[in-house]
Amino acid sequence: MLVVFAAAAAGLVVFDGAAIRATTSARPALRFVRIDPLIVRGLDFRSNEQVTVTARVRRATRTADVTANAAGTFRVRLGRVRSYDPCAFTLSIQARGSLGSQASIRTLPRLCPVRQP
Domains of the chain from N-terminus onward: 26-106 (2.60.40.10)
The neighbour count for residue 94, using CB atoms within 10 Å, is 16
0.75 exceeded by pTM: no
Residue 100 falls in which region: left (phi positive, over 0), alpha (psi -120 to 50) or beta: left
Q: Are 114 and 62 in contact (CB under 8 A)?
A: no
Of 52, 32, 30, which Cα lies nearest the Cα of 100? 52
Q: Which residues are 75's β-sheet partners?
A: 41
Per-residue pLDDT in tens (0 to 9) along the chain, 117 residues: 545 444 444 444 444 444 443 444 689 999 999 998 999 999 999 999 999 999 998 888 999 999 999 999 999 999 988 878 888 889 999 999 999 999 999 998 888 887 777
DSSP string, 6-44: HHHHHHHHHHHHHHHHHH--PPPEEEEEETTTEEEEEES
Q: Are 55 and 61 in contact (CB under 8 A)?
A: yes
d(CA 11, CA 13): 5
